C-alpha cells in the first residue's frame, strides 16, 4: 500500500495534502516504468492562491521526476451557474501558474508542457433542461409550495448530491411571484431541485412566477455534470432526448427519447 500523493481540494470538504515519497518506492521503479507525465487534481476553485500553491507543490514533485515533460493541472475551473456565484478569473489564475512554471524552468532547466482541463468552464452554462410542471401542491401556511416537474434525478443529480444550485425559470408572464420548492418525479425524498446551497437535506424555495400544471420550466447550467451523471432509468424513467440549438436558431436532434421497450430490452 502506498500513501496517496494528493487529497481532494478543500472545496470538496477534504484537506489538501501532499505526501513526499522516494522514487525507489514506486512499483514501476522495479519494472523499468518511465514517468514522463504528471497529472494532479486541484479541484474546481476560484482562488488564485490555491492554484499557485498547488502548482508549486506539483512542480516540487516534478523536480524529483527528471523525465517528466508534461504537467496536467486538472480539476477544472469554477464557473458560476447562479448570478451570485463567482467564476474563476482565468487571467489571474493563469498569471500565477505561469510565474510558477517559469520559475521552475529557471531552477531546473526544463520547459514543461502545461495541460489544463477547461471543459466545465466552456460548456456548463451552454446547456439547459426543459421540463414540464406536472403538479403543484401546497402544505399550508407553515409549509411549502411544491412544484413537481417531469425532470429530476434521472436528468440532473447535482442538487440532490451536494446541494448544487441551478437557475430555474418558469416560462409564464403576468402571474404573481411565489416561493416555490421544485422537485422531480422520483419516489425519493432527495429528488429536490432547489436544496439549500451545499446542503441537499435542506430546502431553499425560489421566487418565481407561481407555476401551474403544464408550464414549461427551464433548469439552467446543465451543460456539464448533468447528462453525464444522470441516474438513467431510475424508477424506470426513459432517458431524455438531447437537442442542439444551432447558431441560426434551428433545432437539431442529437439523441432520441428512449422508448419504454429500450428501458428493459436487456432484461432476460
Residue 53 CA to its chain's centroid (Å): 23
Cα distance from N-terminal residue to C-terminal residue, the chain:
41
Cα–Cα distance for residue pair 106/223, rounded to 1 Å: 40
Cα–Cα distance for residue pair 83/231, rounded to 1 Å: 27
Cα–Cα distance for residue pair 157/107, rounded to 1 Å: 46
Cα–Cα distance for residue pair 144/147, rounded to 1 Å: 10
Paired sense of beta strands 70-74 and 37-41, if any: parallel
The answer to whether residue 30 is catalytic is no
Q: Find residue 203's DSSP bridge partners.
A: 195
Catalytic residue from among 30, 186, 187, 226: 187
What is 82-150 written as a DSSP string? STTS----HHHHHHHHHHHHHHHHHHH---PEEE---HHHHHGGG--EEEEEEEEEE--TTS-EEEEES
How far lies 170's CA from each of 192, 207, 221, in Å?
Answer: 16, 10, 15
239 DSSP assignment:
P
What is 149-171 written as a DSSP string? ES-STTT--HHHHH-----EEE-
Cα–Cα distance for residue pair 198/78, rounded to 1 Å: 15
Catalytic residue numbers, as ranges: 187
Amino acid at each position: 500500500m502506498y500513501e496517496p500523493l494528493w487529497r481532494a481540494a478543500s472545496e470538496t470538504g477534504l484537506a489538501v495534502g501532499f505526501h513526499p515519497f522516494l522514487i525507489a518506492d514506486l512499483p514501476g521503479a522495479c519494472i523499468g516504468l518511465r514517468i514522463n507525465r504528471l497529472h494532479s487534481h486541484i479541484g474546481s476553485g476560484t482562488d488564485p492562491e490555491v492554484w499557485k500553491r498547488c502548482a508549486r507543490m506539483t512542480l516540487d514533485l516534478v523536480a524529483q521526476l527528471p523525465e517528466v515533460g508534461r504537467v496536467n493541472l486538472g480539476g477544472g475551473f469554477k464557473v458560476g451557474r447562479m448570478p451570485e456565484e463567482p467564476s474563476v478569473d482565468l487571467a489571474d489564475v493563469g498569471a500565477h501558474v505561469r510565474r510558477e512554471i517559469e520559475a521552475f524552468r529557471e531552477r531546473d532547466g526544463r520547459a514543461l508542457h502545461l495541460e489544463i482541463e477547461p471543459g466545465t468552464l466552456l460548456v456548463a452554462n451552454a446547456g439547459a433542461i426543459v421540463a414540464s410542471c406536472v403538479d403543484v401542491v401546497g402544505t399550508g401556511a407553515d409549509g411549502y409550495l411544491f412544484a413537481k416537474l417531469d425532470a429530476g434525478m434521472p436528468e440532473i443529480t447535482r442538487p440532490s448530491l451536494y446541494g448544487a444550485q441551478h437557475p430555474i425559470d418558469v416560462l409564464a408572464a403576468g402571474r404573481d411571484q411565489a416561493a416555490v420548492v421544485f422537485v422531480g418525479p422520483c419516489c425519493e425524498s432527495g429528488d429536490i431541485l432547489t436544496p439549500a446551497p451545499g446542503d441537499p437535506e435542506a430546502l431553499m424555495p425560489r421566487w418565481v412566477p407561481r407555476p401551474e400544471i403544464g408550464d414549461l420550466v427551464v433548469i439552467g447550467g446543465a451543460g456539464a455534470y448533468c447528462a453525464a451523471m444522470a441516474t438513467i432509468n431510475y424508477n424506470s424513467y426513459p432517458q431524455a432526448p438531447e437537442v442542439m440549438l444551432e447558431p441560426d436558431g434551428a433545432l437539431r436532434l442529437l439523441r432520441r427519447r428512449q422508448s419504454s421497450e429500450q428501458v428493459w430490452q436487456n432484461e432476460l
